[in-house]
Structure 1
Amino acid sequence: MVTNNNTHPSLNGAKLHLGDPGPLFQAEGGFFELCVRLSTNMQFHEPDVALHLRRVAKYVELLAEALGRPAEDVQLLKVASVFHDVGMAEVPTAIVSKNGPLTPEEAEIVRRHTEIGHQMLSESGVPMLEVAAMLALTHHEYVNGKGYPHQLVGLEIPLGGRILAVADVFDALTTRRPYKEPYPIDVAVDIINGMSGKQFDAEVVVALQQRVDLLRDVDGLPSRTLVNLSSSALAEGMKVDVRQTFAISARDMNKGELFASGGYFSCPFCKQMHPQGTTFCSLKQMPLREIHQLSGQVINEKYLLQRAAGAGGMASVYESLHMLTNRRVALKLLDPDVARNPSDVTRFLEEGRVFATVGHPNLVEVLDIDQTPEGVPFMVMEYLVGEDLADFIEAECPISEVAAASVLVEVLRTLTAVHGAGIVHRDLKPENIFLTQDRQRLKILDFGISLVRDSHHQRPRLTKAGTFMGTPEYMSPEQAYGLDSIDHRSDLFTMGEILYELVTGWQTFTAETTMAVMMAVANVRYVHPATRLPGLSSEMVAVILRSLRADKEARYQTTQEFIDDLMPILERDFPYQPGVLLGLHERGAKSNSVS
């Protein structure tokens, strides 16, 4: 355990006796600016580090003044604070700027910067640098003893370290970093207040609340409270309260401070944060109900719901943490309103059985099926990192014929197993096809409206004839007519629609209204693919046209027939490797979604 025997008196609350500090510490320029420049040069691989140091120094000054420290102590702490992260010079740039959670090994490398900085500064013999050395060592200690590097508790942490801890985190929360967007000031204060008495000294947190209006006036801070709005929101001139909508970084989501504060939830529609009680997502124009506001809650004493990954008509999916094993999982929770309908509960449970029964590597793995104490069913699935095909299409399409054929063959291989088990998906669409982060493999999600038949093609039906099930743009003609005779060839028609979109960049069936789209599907009215994209090969056009025939007896009858026609296209450049996608380069990642 490190003691404070070598701590400068100013850090433990005693008055500093260095005589008159003179203009050296008091001036904004001169010695202070020299220190900023020296520290900046030592941390050259961190962007905007000079601005960060000036802001943190100002926050330290304001907080120390609010705590009643003598003027000479305040100025000493202010100058010394600019050296608090000099140890980061030894942390690789790739870790400093990493977009996403750090691995345990990377986190350990970052933690070492406190001791490295202390070692660099402590042997100078200069009083100010001795103070800087102790600040470097202690500003990541928590008052509850769970910080680093020495797990100091409460007043064992020098006052300067406790002040700097709040100032440093406040700046981290309210500024743009390589791995996050800035949070609004009020949100940052809420987060820090939620950690009062745990991570932060309660008196310093009170000082922050007292000086928050002065903190707002620090140079550059107002511009850092803005959030990114969707292009559609900007185009429509929507007014969005920045405190009502802001993004959470992957690192902060894993830490859980926002959820621990109890004031915010992760929105499944815009993927940003709203204050608890918000009933409407202004970015996506969607109503928000209780099931959409569960981030931060614990299910069955073992699943901590964190980021909302998506929501559909029947269920919502949360990126979650299994608290006993520390494993990240995706938890799909049936909407409590839907759970009142026994047939919907049966359909939800059947989806889990489908994944378990078929057991194909391209199907998401179901780890558990259970229910809450209130009787609401939920499903625990493997956690996937990547993007759904819908986002890929929006960003990348049209894509090469080889890449499109690669995606289709992998989905068709999976459907071979699914259809072989007597199951018709009925809601295949890009949102239900998930690409892994390296874009080398895919997973099929969501069998929520699948149709399961026994050997006699009979079973108790969960939907009535004439009921429309599916997504209009990806329905088959028989689905659009609401016919009872839906079989596996309906899925193959949908695969033709997805293939059309991959190679042309256009949805197959487009119209102004949902009903008009369904009429176009029912009558199989679409623009010829070669018209959408002149230069398509005759082989690709032939595959698309056959898959989209109105008469299901004339389209592909099996997945293998479909695959056989795609293989010559797929193997134009490289031999086919089952399970591996071709022609899709790696892109940024996001987490599981649900239609």
Structure 2
Amino acid sequence: MGSGNGFFSTQEFNLDSKWLIDPQQLFVGPKIGEGAHAKVYEGKYKNQNVAIKVVRRGETPEEIARREGRFAREVAMLSKVQHKNLVKFIGACKEPVMVIVTELLLGGTLRKYLLNMRPKCLDMCVAIGFALDIARAMECLHSHGIIHWDLKPENLILTEDHKTVKLADFGLAREESLTEMMTAETGTYRWMAPELYSTVTLRQGEKKHYNHKVDAYSFAIVLWELIHNKLPFEGMSNLQAAYAAAFKNVRPSAEDLPEDLAAIVTSCWQEDPNARPNFTQIIQMLLHYLSTVSPPELVMMPPKRTTSENVVFPPESPGTSSLMAARDDVAETQKTVDGEDRRKGFFFCFNQCY
């Protein structure tokens, strides 16, 4: 695994000095998320509220090399692109532990937002507005030759006013020019493009069978979910949904959608990746549809829920659904960060609670 710029080396960690975080100025507050390979905390860096992702190094040499490579790749992706619909990267450091620091988004994940709203659906104009946010983020990534590979509601975070969606979690992102092979852990089956399943079992060195159009397929599933506020392939497990999509060409029903909108969804999830539109085309199609519908009605935001009412959804990949403060879940611990004298230093937290 490698790249000429050194970002993808597991042996060294190269990062422009402007992105290097000083651990001495990093203060850790309450934990707001945990995945298989990382924990995410709310905290402060130079008096700015931030999300702090601490990546576990692993136990075996192979595991350490794999996680260091993934960490370097994610940092490279985050530092390479900036866009209003991508989570803002603040910096990273590799010692004493691997840390990624980003802006703290207070609106929660799109997944949780939609779940709190059920059985109601988003106003159509609001749903299309969110879809445009996502499509613009993806257009930016693809213009830099980056495939996200893990586009799903858990990786889409809302701003505090619930008016903007930002794409997060670049742990699986790749440069399209690289020929690194897929692994079974890549992506989340329910949202993954069908062509990815055949690459999972390819031998190292065989020609890859995917390109940036895998993200267009995932976008179609997310768009369908935005409109219907239902889990795609409802009633199926993740693996059953993957099998149905890949080997039976099954898709969620688009029959009840307006013609123009159905055309967008079905074109994006076509079986032939080359027949799917790119995100510049998707944006134009969404804008055209938006121009044909009436202005959005006043939409009631889902009510705040207390800790006892909330369901906690563990992240499915490191950092997923964790680049935000779940204010309804950590209200009691928020004062830990607000009080300067009560904050934990980074090294204290590492030694005491990691």
TM-score (normalizing by structure 2): 0.70
1:326 deviation in Å?
Answer: 3.0
Can you list the C-alpha shifts for 1:138-161, whole angstroms capped at 9, x where unaligned?
xxxxxxxxxxxxxxxxxxxxxxxx
Considering only aligned residues, what root-mean-square deviation do their CA atoms show, in Å?
Answer: 2.8
Partner of 2:37: 314
Structure 2 CA distance for partners of 1:336 and 1:584, relative to 1, 3 Å? farther
Aligned pair 1:571/2:291, yes or no? yes
Q: Is the 8 A contact 2:113 2:302 kept in 1?
A: no
Alpha-carbon separation, structure 2, partners of 1:452 and 1:582: 41
Partner of 1:529: 254
Alpha-carbon separation, structure 2, partners of 1:481 and 1:406: 34
Structure 2 CA distance for partners of 1:427 and 1:574, relative to 1, 3 Å? same
Helix, strand or coil for the counterpart of 2:108?
A: strand
Structure 2 CA distance for partners of 1:587 and 1:307, relative to 1, 3 Å? farther
1:458 deviation in Å?
Answer: 3.5
Structure 2 CA distance for partners of 1:528 and 1:513, relative to 1, 3 Å? closer
Helix, strand or coil for the counterpart of 1:571?
A: helix
1:587 deviation in Å?
Answer: 5.3
Helix, strand or coil for the counterpart of 1:482?
A: helix
Structure 2 CA distance for partners of 1:437 and 1:478, relative to 1, 3 Å? same
Structure 2 CA distance for partners of 1:377 and 1:489, relative to 1, 3 Å? same
Partner of 2:321: 593
Aligned pair 1:486/2:210, yes or no? yes
Of Structure 1 and Structure 2, the greater helix share is in: 1
- Matching residue's letter, 1:594: S
TM-score (normalizing by structure 1): 0.43
Aligned pair 1:408/2:112, yes or no? no
Aligned pair 1:562/2:266, yes or no? no
1:368 deviation in Å?
Answer: 1.7
Alpha-carbon separation, structure 2, partners of 1:398 and 1:546: 23
Alpha-carbon separation, structure 2, partners of 1:496 and 1:561: 13
Alpha-carbon separation, structure 2, partners of 1:480 and 1:582: 41
Give the alignment partner of residue 467 of structure 1, picking from 169, 184, 189. 184
Partner of 2:49: 328
- Matching residue's letter, 2:152: K
Alpha-carbon separation, structure 2, partners of 1:319 and 1:345: 23
Partner of 1:142: none
Structure 2 CA distance for partners of 1:466 and 1:371, relative to 1, 3 Å? closer
1:570 deviation in Å?
Answer: 1.7
Alpha-carbon separation, structure 2, partners of 1:412 and 1:527: 20
Alpha-carbon separation, structure 2, partners of 1:582 and 1:418: 32
Structure 2 CA distance for partners of 1:353 and 1:441, relative to 1, 3 Å? same
Structure 2 CA distance for partners of 1:516 and 1:586, relative to 1, 3 Å? closer
Alpha-carbon separation, structure 2, partners of 1:380 and 1:438: 22
Partner of 2:203: none
Give the alignment partner of residue 243 of structure 2, picking from 513, 516, 519. 519
Can you list the C-alpha shifts for 1:365-415, whole angstroms capped at 9, x where unaligned?
221211343xx2111111121121101221235323322211111111111
1:303 deviation in Å?
Answer: 2.4
Helix, strand or coil for the counterpart of 1:481?
A: helix
Partner of 1:442: 165
Structure 2 CA distance for partners of 1:446 and 1:466, relative to 1, 3 Å? closer
Can you list the C-alpha shifts for 1:519-566, whole angstroms capped at 9, x where unaligned?
022133134233xxx4x312222221111111112222x101111221
- Matching residue's letter, 2:190: E
Q: Is the 8 A contact 2:41 2:53 kept in 1?
A: yes
1:350 deviation in Å?
Answer: 1.7
Partner of 2:268: 547
Alpha-carbon separation, structure 2, partners of 1:441 and 1:514: 28
> How does 1:43-82 map onto structure 2 within 5 Å?
none
> How does 1:194-593 map onto structure 2 within 5 Å?
300-322=23-45, 325-337=46-58, 340-373=63-96, 376-396=97-117, 398-453=121-176, 457-458=177-178, 461=180, 464-465=181-182, 467-482=184-199, 484-523=208-247, 524-530=249-255, 534=256, 536-556=257-277, 558-573=278-293, 586=301, 593=321
Q: Percent identity?
A: 24
Can you list the C-alpha shifts for 1:460-489, whole angstroms capped at 9, x where unaligned?
x2xx35634101111110123335322111
Helix, strand or coil for the counterpart of 2:135?
A: helix
Q: Is the 8 A contact 2:116 2:302 kept in 1?
A: no
Structure 2 CA distance for partners of 1:473 and 1:401, relative to 1, 3 Å? same
Q: Is the 8 A contact 2:147 2:215 kept in 1?
A: yes
Can you list the C-alpha shifts for 1:101-124, whole angstroms capped at 9, x where unaligned?
xxxxxxxxxxxxxxxxxxxxxxxx
- Matching residue's letter, 1:561: Q
Helix, strand or coil for the counterpart of 2:283?
A: helix
Helix, strand or coil for the counterpart of 1:553?
A: helix
Alpha-carbon separation, structure 1, partners of 2:33 and 2:55: 12
Structure 2 CA distance for partners of 1:414 and 1:584, relative to 1, 3 Å? farther
Task: Say which is worse superposed, 306-315 or 544-553, in terms of deviation.
Answer: 306-315
Structure 2, gaps ≥5 residues long: 1-21, 201-207, 306-319, 324-354
Alpha-carbon separation, structure 2, partners of 1:422 and 1:515: 29
Can you list the C-alpha shifts for 1:472-522, whole angstroms capped at 9, x where unaligned?
111110123335322111001001001111112223324443321220221
- Matching residue's letter, 1:469: T
- Matching residue's letter, 1:389: L
Structure 2 CA distance for partners of 1:500 and 1:412, relative to 1, 3 Å? same
1:358 deviation in Å?
Answer: 1.1
